[in-house]
Structure 1
Amino acid sequence: MTAIVWFRRDLRLHDHAALHAAALTGDPIIPIYILDDSLCRSAAVGDKRLYAYFAAIGEFANDLAQLGGRLLIRHGDPQQLLCQLVQETGANKLFFNRAYTPDARKRDESVSEVLKSHGVFVQSCKDLVMHEPEEIKTKQRTPYAVFTPYRRVWQTLPKEKPFPQSTKWQWDERLHELAGEPVPAVEAFGRKRPTGTEWESEQFGERAAHKRLQQFINGDILSYKEKRDMPGVNATSRLSFALNAGTLSIRTVYHRVLEVLMQARGEQVTSIEAFVAELIWREFYQQVLYFHPHTTNHAYLPQFEKVAWENREELFACWCQGETGYPIVDAAMKQLIETGWMHNRLRMITASFLTKDLLVDWRWGMAYFAQQLIDFDEAANIGGWQWSASTGTDAQPYFRIFNPVTQGEKFDPDGVFVKKYLPVLRKVPLQYIHKPWDMPEHIQEQAGCKIGFDYPIPCVDHAQRRKLAMALFQEAKDRHAKTE
């Protein structure tokens, strides 16, 4: 008897639901990861995102090897390859952790159906979230469309604790003889490997994730509410990649945070609760996508499905390249280009700017983020973009439009973040750092920053575009009302 454990977004050994369930059977285990071309060869997945995920796979493979095991890596169709592995080994059990996105659910249902028809016992496990979409519904048994009541219910439900760690794993004796591929490298798929110490592969593994969690709960979590919106201060958890790739479990994070919360006092309590709320937002967006799969490419709110976006490609290119002429927007986009990550406040600012100032369809920006972000989470990306574009659940009302200047002044008051990612503005006086176009010519000369030459003139006028955006959204709303 042999149990296959199929790894996906759960690249770790500790507190792993499917691995724990397989170990309880007492059967020898074959760990497998299946490379899919929808990830490896897709133009929708950028080089940095692919590299980070491959690095996590590599670190996980190393961890297994140190325990005498091996991560069997194969490339192709999961259904075909798992059936083939069953035939090769006589394995009679398959364990994997559940996924909730539309494509993943279809894949998993297909795999389960075929393997069961071959007499294989299949068990899927809850691992990605504390509470699955079906667990939290209204009294009418419908999914929540507003975060706050969802959060209240989420907080009242009992929470699973991390699974106990096995002291010894029983690997299948044929594991090292099975044909498999080496840990993937981005170069093998025609991609460019990022350089720099921050891109060393160990930064993306399970040990690094646990270290980052420990650092966060030892310090920044206690002032999280106060500092989390300040991109110039490294005060957020930076756990998004670990949670998405599964190098760290949500159970571990939640219960470690809970331990700190029980010892906290005063403002520390509200800061920790603010962080927990972010964990709940992550699950809220999972359930929105689960119950509303059309939101992958359509507005949750039907009245805003047909906003008359301008979709000017030259403005979209300016936004992507961080050359809009609005410093907080441009610095944020440069951060994304350089690091594959963006501060959450900046994700909201840049998304609002693209949709409300540049009048570009939110789907364009959503796809660009999906390509660039190493911590890409489909549900969170869709939810965040639809929130900013005022088309989603619990969305930012369309008449509330972020002003990129005041957002910069409020959240980067000393220009620390802007100057880090826009070095051309480093000598610009603070009073002009978020609106450099207001600098008199002699100050531009002193700062070595000539507007329109060294740094771009704003590509649009915010006040004018704000009015136009409001009019376009109202028109879409009125058109929809007439068809009802």
Structure 2
Amino acid sequence: MTSPSLYWLRNDLRLTDNAALTAAAAAQGQVIFLYVLDDETPGDWRLGGASRWWLHKSLEALSATAPLVLRRGAADKVIADVLTESGAAAVHFTRDYAPWSGALEQRVKAACEAAGASCHRYGGFLLQEPETIRNGSGEPYRVYTPFSKACFAAGEPRPLKPVPKFSGWTGKLKSDRLAGWGLLPTKPDWAKAMAAHWTPGEAGAAARLKDFIADGLEHYADERDRPDRDVTSRLSPYLHFGEISPAQCWHAVRAAQLAAGGKLDKAAEKFLKEVLWREFSYHLLHHWPTLPEKPFRPEFSAFPWSKNPKGLKAWEMGRTGYPIVDAGMRELWVTGIMHNRVRMIAASFLIKDLLIPWQDGERWFWDTLVDADIASNAASWQWVAGCGADAAPYFRIFNPVLQGEKFDTAGTYVRKWLPELARLPDEFVHRPWEAPALVLKAAGVELGRNYPHPVVDHAKARDRALAALKETKGIQ
């Protein structure tokens, strides 16, 4: 009997355009599909609650098309056990870029060598490997715009790989029950509403991409900052779990652009630049692996943050008294995602209005976002905080009222997620504390009772943030 190949699934939960699976299937014999729930190796960065919900649903979907072996534990030890139990001749897997992944992959390689099996690592989670895009001096990029230009100059991504022909291993291997992993919440079932907004899995990813190209892409460049419009791709969780590859997204958008006779030039370029922001985030993470925990600009290590547990709790629960911020936090709680523009507004409020460390917000997003991503999360929070690579200046402080009035002009987004404010007139929906008492009463709004007073005065909070900036030596 020919020895099987072991395909170690990671954040590549798809059959299409999968180099590791293609190579495993091309070898003679059968393929063992192994997924390891490793809560040990990432330490404090074990999957958050929303990600665990998504993972359960994604594995459930994948199990309908591939025979999965599920194990729990340190990935290198589990792989060593499966090699011994199965006699597999080779291990194939997709590269990961988290700070702990390089060392883990080396331990997997050592386990393979000890078992007499070959070890093969492949790309596919990114368009380009982080080592390949360098500036003119051969150094990694620190600024997004020249990085994105270099990526465009590198040419179109590689051709896509079709679903390979494979057969599952007919031998016997012990497998955990997915339900036994406890990935889904029990009581209270805070994820119940998420199912109405998402279809995790490869088929759901393909459908989402198709819908975006048909209905959202045309308006993407002009309206992507409008939370009251449904034009964003919402592909981020599918990309994070590898249910679709960035190359698939890229080629699909290019094909739509070609079919439209170039009419989508502006929209396509804007979307592809967002794909490249994801690439840039991983470029940074690879070259600066402390990105999720320490400021990229070390002078920010001395910034005088405030200890404000009440403020943090109000922000987490969407009870700050600033409607656009609260609407975003409520959307996050219900759907596991937040509109991209509102993420920036909410993050700026936490960091600059409340002077709460960006790491606290990063951790909350890690637990509550279905697209929680170690690189994009860290890079984006540091961008807003002003301490990251290619960061927005710290003195750029979003005014939550003006941002709401600019991007949610009629208050449609706020009214959707804050029904207690639904009857307020447009002129007050983003600033309810300024509404006359009779207007509040007619709208059924009781400040301090069914909607909070603002936790801070934004103008004063802005001055305080700028004063704190001045106190910190070396920040300009």
Q: Is the TM value for this pair above 0.5?
A: yes
Other-structure match for 1:8: 10
Does 2:25 correspond to 1:23? Answer: yes
Q: 1:52 to 1:144 in 2, by over 3 A?
A: same
Comparing both structures, which one devotes a greater share of its residues to helix?
Answer: 1
**Aligned mate of 2:199, from 177, 200, 203:** 203
**1:44 deviation in Å?**
6.4
Measure, in 2, the Cα distance between the counterparts of 1:82 and 1:242: 25
Measure, in 2, the Cα distance between the counterparts of 1:197 and 1:348: 24
Other-structure match for 1:157: 154
> Counterparts of 1:53-92 in structure 2 under 5 Å?
53-64=55-66, 70-92=67-89
> Counterparts of 1:290-369 in structure 2 under 5 Å?
290-369=286-365
Cα displacement string for residues 125-167 of structure 1 (whole angstroms, at most 9, x for unaligned residues): 001001011010112111100000000110111321111232x
Question: How many aligned residue pairs are there?
Answer: 472
Measure, in 1, the Cα distance between the counterparts of 2:378 and 2:36: 25
Q: 1:195 to 1:414 in 2, by over 3 A?
A: same
Measure, in 1, the Cα distance between the counterparts of 2:181 and 2:320: 31
Contact 1:44 1:367 in 2 (8 A): no
2:458 aligned partner, one-letter code: H
Other-structure match for 1:381: 377
**1:186 deviation in Å?**
6.2
Cα displacement string for residues 250-280 of structure 1 (whole angstroms, at most 9, x for unaligned residues): 1111111111122335763111110000000
Other-structure match for 1:52: 54
Q: 1:102 to 1:307 in 2, by over 3 A?
A: same
Contact 2:218 2:264 in 1 (8 A): yes
Q: 1:195 to 1:383 in 2, by over 3 A?
A: closer
Q: 1:89 to 1:251 in 2, by over 3 A?
A: same
**1:366 deviation in Å?**
0.5
Measure, in 1, the Cα distance between the counterparts of 2:263 and 2:191: 40
Measure, in 2, the Cα distance between the counterparts of 1:118 and 1:382: 37
**Aligned mate of 1:172, from 169, 172, 177:** 169
Measure, in 2, the Cα distance between the counterparts of 1:470 and 1:23: 58
- TM (norm. structure 2) is 0.95
**Aligned mate of 1:131, from 111, 128, 131:** 128
Other-structure match for 1:67: none
Cα displacement string for residues 185-242 of structure 1 (whole angstroms, at most 9, x for unaligned residues): 6647875544657517981011111011111111211110111111111111111111
Measure, in 1, the Cα distance between the counterparts of 2:190 and 2:465: 38
Other-structure match for 1:477: 473
Cα displacement string for residues 322-379 of structure 1 (whole angstroms, at most 9, x for unaligned residues): 1111000000001111111111111111110000000000011111110110111110
- TM (norm. structure 1) is 0.93
2:9 aligned partner, one-letter code: F
Q: 1:398 to 1:201 in 2, by over 3 A?
A: closer
1:48 aligned partner, one-letter code: A
Measure, in 1, the Cα distance between the counterparts of 2:120 and 2:42: 27
**1:475 deviation in Å?**
1.8
2:14 aligned partner, one-letter code: R
**Aligned mate of 2:113, from 116, 125, 129:** 116
2:402 aligned partner, one-letter code: T
1:236 aligns to what SS in structure 2? Answer: coil
**1:6 deviation in Å?**
0.2
Measure, in 2, the Cα distance between the counterparts of 1:302 and 1:7: 36
1:72 aligns to what SS in structure 2? Answer: strand
Give the percent of matched residue pairs that are identical in Structure 1 and Structure 2: 35
Other-structure match for 1:99: 96
**Aligned mate of 2:246, from 226, 250, 254:** 250
Measure, in 2, the Cα distance between the counterparts of 1:96 and 1:43: 21
**1:450 deviation in Å?**
1.8
Measure, in 1, the Cα distance between the counterparts of 2:196 and 2:181: 14
Measure, in 1, the Cα distance between the counterparts of 2:41 and 2:415: 35
Measure, in 2, the Cα distance between the counterparts of 1:184 and 1:473: 49
1:24 aligned partner, one-letter code: A
Q: 1:104 to 1:9 in 2, by over 3 A?
A: same
Contact 1:55 1:201 in 2 (8 A): no
Measure, in 1, the Cα distance between the counterparts of 2:301 and 2:271: 32
Other-structure match for 2:36: 34
Does 2:415 correspond to 1:402? Answer: no
**1:121 deviation in Å?**
0.7
Aligned alpha-carbon RMSD (Å) = 2.1
1:5 aligns to what SS in structure 2? Answer: strand
Q: 1:201 to 1:29 in 2, by over 3 A?
A: farther
**Aligned mate of 1:371, from 367, 373, 377:** 367
1:124 aligns to what SS in structure 2? Answer: strand
Contact 2:197 2:335 in 1 (8 A): no
Measure, in 2, the Cα distance between the counterparts of 1:43 and 1:440: 47
Q: 1:361 to 1:196 in 2, by over 3 A?
A: closer
Contact 2:193 2:334 in 1 (8 A): no
Measure, in 2, the Cα distance between the counterparts of 1:73 and 1:186: 10
Contact 2:123 2:129 in 1 (8 A): yes
Contact 2:53 2:191 in 1 (8 A): no
1:164 aligned partner, one-letter code: P
Measure, in 2, the Cα distance between the counterparts of 1:53 and 1:368: 18
Cα displacement string for residues 380-439 of structure 1 (whole angstroms, at most 9, x for unaligned residues): 000010001001001010111100000000110010110011011000000001000000
Q: 1:343 to 1:85 in 2, by over 3 A?
A: same
2:212 aligned partner, one-letter code: F
**1:13 deviation in Å?**
1.1
Measure, in 2, the Cα distance between the counterparts of 1:380 and 1:188: 23
Contact 1:44 1:370 in 2 (8 A): no
Q: Report runs of 4+ in structure 1 exceeding 6 Å deviation.
A: 39-44
Measure, in 2, the Cα distance between the counterparts of 1:56 and 1:39: 21
**1:309 deviation in Å?**
0.5
Measure, in 2, the Cα distance between the counterparts of 1:470 and 1:190: 41
Measure, in 2, the Cα distance between the counterparts of 1:202 and 1:394: 32
